Amino acid sequence: MKTDQPLLESFVLGDITLKNRVVMAPMTRSRADNAGNVPTDLHVKYYTQRAGAGLIITEGSQVSKRAVGYIHTAGIHTAEQIEGWKKVVDAVHAEDGKIFIQLWHVGRMSHPDFHNGDKPLAPSSVNPNAQAYTSDGFKDTVAPKEMTLAEIEETQQEFVDAAKNALEAGFDGIEIHSSNGYLFHQFFNKKANLRTDNYGGNIENRVRFFFETLDKVKEVVPENKIGIRLNPSLNGVFGIEATEDTIPTFDHIIERLNNYDLSYLHLSEPFTDVSEIDFLETEIAKRYRPIYKGNLMINGGFTQEKGNEVIKEGNADLVAFGKLYISNPDLAERFAINAPMAEWDNDTFYSQGAKGYIDYPTYAEEAQEA
Q: Residue 369: which pLDDT band, with cuts at 50, 70 and 90?
A: confident
Tell me, what's the pLDDT at 370? 63
Q: 77-82: long-range contacts (C-beta < 8 A, 24 or more apart)?
A: 77/158, 77/161, 77/162, 77/165, 78/36, 78/37, 78/38, 80/36, 80/38, 81/36, 81/37, 81/38, 81/39, 81/165, 82/165, 82/168, 82/169
Beta-bridge partners for 230: 267
The domain that holds 69 is classified in CATH as 3.20.20.70
Residue 179 forms part of a structural domain? yes
Catalytic residue among 182, 288, 325, 360: 182
Residue 323 forms part of a structural domain? yes
Q: Are 172 and 225 in contact (CB under 8 A)?
A: yes
Average pLDDT in the chain: 96
Q: Residue 366: which pLDDT band, with cuts at 50, 70 and 90?
A: confident
As separate numbers, helices (DSSP H) first and strands (DSSP E) second, the chain gives 12, 14
Tell me, what's the pLDDT at 272? 84
CB atoms within 10 A of CB 312: 12
Residue 362 has pLDDT above 60, yes or no: yes
Residue 316 forms part of a structural domain? yes
Residue 1 has pLDDT above 60, yes or no: no
To 5 degrees, how large is the angle CA 123–CA 289–CA 20? Answer: 100
| Pick from 104, 79, 101: nearest CA to 92 | 101
Residue 243 forms part of a structural domain? yes
pLDDT tens by residue, 2-36: 679 999 999 999 999 999 999 999 999 999 998 89
Residue 300 forms part of a structural domain? yes
Q: Is the pTM of this model over 0.85?
A: yes
Residue 1 forms part of a structural domain? no
Q: For this structure, is 47 an active site residue? A: no
Instruction: Give the Å distances, CA to CA, from 224 to 146, 207, 221.
Output: 33, 21, 8
Residue 347 forms part of a structural domain? yes
Residue 142 has pLDDT above 80, yes or no: yes
Q: How many domains does the chain have?
A: 1
Q: How far out from the chain centre does Cα 124 lie?
A: 23
Tell me, what's the pLDDT at 364? 93
Q: What is the DSSP letter of 112?
A: G
pLDDT tens by residue, 111-123: 999 999 999 999 9
Domain holding 97, by residue range, is 6-369
Residue 230 forms part of a structural domain? yes
Q: Are 215 and 223 in contact (CB under 8 A)?
A: no
Q: 3-state secondary structure string, 131-154?
A: EEEECCEEEECCCCEECCHHHHHH
pLDDT tens by residue, 263-304: 999 999 998 888 889 899 999 999 999 999 999 999 999 999
Instruction: Give the Å distances, CA to CA, from 312 to 41, 167, 318, 346.
Output: 38, 33, 11, 31
Torsions phi, psi of 331, nearest 5? -55, -50
